[in-house]
Amino acid sequence: MTTPGLDPFGSEHSTAGADLLVADLNDPIILGRLAALAAKRGVSLVRIADLGEPSDAQPPIAIVVDIGSPGAIDRIGTWCRRWPSTLVAGSISFPDQERWHGALAAGASLVASRGAFVAQLERALEARSGGRGRDAAITRLPVRLMLREGDGLVGRLPDAPGGSIVVMRVAGRLHAIRDECPHAGASLADGTLDGPIITCPRHGSQFDVTTGARERGPSDFPIRTYRVASGEDGVFVEVPT
């Protein structure tokens, strides 16, 4: 087992072809536990700075991030869009509800306090196809669309993995978003939609449902979006499982 305080990454590590557990945090206690977890699972623990450019065909199995670090929420959104099958998990070392909601709304599959973080990460990896993110699947969740004309809410997936998702129609196109305001967790389905902009019913934050971008605070963070697929067999929202 790696001793906290020593370099948990080792002096040399080859990541070519390996399953990667990527650390975007500096907490030595967590890094020591991650090193032990990586050894147990036979994957390579690498720093985010050493990640390079992994191919889209072999995304990291997981990226772990200190959500209290500057720009963490934006990075979570970027990774979730690029590698939807990667388990993105956030550790937080102080109570901050907005960052907690922000990380989940940006697409993190898991947010946990520092002390419980690695144990919860291990359980989440176990739950994913034997713990191998490479094998993690994108699940297509069928949506039964409401019969209504024009723009607005047309579908709900309250039991989607990771949290409720709603489907909005904007200018004839369907867009799926996580139904949780990053500011304090209000349901965005209860908000008002004007063009692509949804206004949170609780404190008025605004988001673009076509991109997830935050347009107005008090939320500091964007919302998670999901791909919607339509075909002869129906309408589906694609979510990582």
Q: Which residues bind ligand FES (CB under 6 A)?
A: 181, 183-184, 186, 200, 202-205, 218-219
Q: At what angle do helices 97-106 and 72-82 cross, to 10 degrees?
A: 20
Q: How far is the CB of 186 from ligand FES (least distance, A)?
A: 4
CB of 202 to ligand FES, least distance (A): 4
The residue (of 186 and 193) whose beta carbon lies closer to ligand FES is 186
What 3-state DSSP class applies to 194?
strand
Whole-number Å distance between alpha carbons of 132 and 61: 6
- Residues 6 or more apart in contact with residue 241 via CB below 8 angstroms: 128, 136, 137, 138, 139, 161
Burial of 81 (0-12, 13-18, 19+ CB in 10 A): middle
Give me the least distance between CB of 207 and ligand FES, in Å please: 9
Backbone phi and psi for residue 137, each to the nearest 5 degrees, phi listed first = -105, 155
Question: Of the two residues 101 and 169, which places its CB atom closer to ligand FES in the complex?
Answer: 101
What's the maximum distance between 2 C-alpha atoms anywhere in the chain? Answer: 61
Query: Minimal CA–CA distance to 62: which of 27, 34, 96, 93?
Result: 34
Residue 187: CB minimum distance to ligand FES, A? 9
Minimum CB–partner distance for residue 177 and ligand FES (Å)? 13
- Return the number of the residue (24 or 180) whose C-beta is nearest ligand FES: 180
Q: At closest approach, how far in Å is the CB of 164 from ligand FES? A: 14
Single-letter amino acid code for the residue at 98:
E
CA 153, 155, 161, 163 dihedral sign is positive
Residue 112 tokens read as: 């946990």
Nearer to ligand FES, 2 or 219 (CB): 219
Q: At what angle do helices 117-127 and 28-41 cross, to 10 degrees?
A: 30
Q: How far is the CB of 47 from ligand FES (least distance, A)?
A: 34
For residues 54 and 204, which CB has a smaller minimum distance to ligand FES in the complex?
204
Cβ pair 94, 213 in contact under 8 A = no
Closer residue to ligand FES, CB minimum distance, 59 or 77: 77
Whichever of 68 and 218 has its CB closer to ligand FES, that residue is 218
